[in-house]
Amino acid sequence: MARNARIYRGTPRNLARLARVLREGGLVAVPTETVYGLAADATSRPACLRIFAAKGRPSSDPLIVHIASLRDLARVAVPNAAALRLARRFWPGALTIVLPKTDDVPDEATAGLPSVAVRMPSHPLLRRLIRLAGVPLAAPSANPFGYVSPTTAAHVARSLGSRIRHILDGGPSAIGLESTIVDLRAPRRPVLLRPGPITRQQVARVLGVPVARSRKAPGRGSQVAPGQMARHYSPRTPVILHARLTPGIAAAGSARDAWVFVRRPRGARDKRGNIFWLDARGDLGRAARRLFALLRELDEGGFRRIHVERPRGAGMAEALSDRLQRASSSWLGKDRGQLA
Ligand code: AMP
Ligand code: MG
């Protein structure tokens, strides 16, 4: 594959250069604490369109707009008291808030919706870049549409390197899962659109009201077209999600399959080199950091199928389960053939 992309270290000189690329409407893959994003000037129609073209992303899928200070919020969104409370508590951080948009944000960034999804990331290099560019940055994850999100600059180079020119390296993503998305268009009825690192319970505590789970959530009567759902966050290798996985099940299963436990299974002998775990002790924060990198490794490892144990419980387990469920729908869904 032809590679055009250059990976930049975050020197002042490189940041100035990449800020200029962004101001001129170009694309830059950027590090965030969640996953790497493919960024462009959120106030520019042609710049936003370039994101969709590079990712092969359908224009019906809205982008997240990234800002560097609370002052910039009113430039892109119409905040309400509930949004300001969440912002003060969780920003900078892995929480995205959906609010009515301003005219500065073109329809291209919001898939034609009158609302915008906005977040203030904590990654210091990205914050510096946003400030230098002087514009809010629209960014989805920096991967071809439907594939596993990147958590290193090398992941971005591998899957988008022939379609983009600039990648800013900010090290491995500290969190490793996409942000939590809360819909506050109706501030008294907050809705969780995507579970993530900031838990539904944390959000509910700050708002003082329960946070409903979106009906669009996977596995609960999804309104999203099956083709789109099936390919979201998924490796090419079929992923099978298990409510319960034991060393015995793995040992009895195929040697050509990979078996991924949440924690290191006791008594499992990995004689066939196909036993993996997300974190030795089952710490879910560490598991999140490792998940996408491991799925990519296994996808390239020649396994026939990837079996994964589903983490149980609320909080980060809800976010991990959501991503795994979407990764696995490719195999359970109808359009398995498309993914071959
Ligand atoms: P995901 O499928 O992980 O990309 O989840 C993102 C969710 O946030 C989807 O349900 C989107 O429709 C929703 N979302 C993102 N941006 C907006 C927006 N501008 N207005 C309304 N919903 C949005
Ligand atoms: Mg994505």
**pLDDT tens column, 118-155:** 999 999 999 999 999 999 999 999 999 989 999 999 99
Starting from the CA of residue 65, give the closest ligand.
1
- pLDDT reading at 269 higher than 60: yes
Contact 103, 18 (CB under 8 A): no
* Fold classification of 6-77+96-174 (topology level): DHBP synthase (3.90.870)
Strands lying side by side in the sheet with 275-277: 239-242, 306-309, 258-261, 275-277
CA nearest to 231, candidates 330, 338, 319 = 330
Which tokens go with 68? Answer: 């560097």
pLDDT, tens only, 86-122: 999 999 999 999 999 999 999 999 999 999 999 999 9
Residue ranges per domain, the chain?
A: 6-77+96-174, 239-332
In this predicted structure, which of 7-21, 27-41, 161-175, 235-249 has the lowest mean pLDDT?
235-249
CA nearest to 173, candidates 188, 159, 192, 153 = 153
**Shortest-distance Cα residue to atom 21 of ligand 1:** 115
* Residue 245: C-alpha distances to residues 171, 240, 264, 314 (Å): 32, 11, 12, 19
d(CA 74, CA 46): 22
Pocket test for ligand 1, best of 193, 228, 318, 329 (most atoms within 8 A of CB): 193
d(CA 1, CA 80): 47
Owner of token pair 């929480």: 95
Starting from the CA of residue 216, give the closest ligand.
1
Look up the pTM and report it: 0.92
pLDDT, tens only, 192-241: 999 999 999 999 999 999 999 986 644 433 333 333 344 466 788 999 99
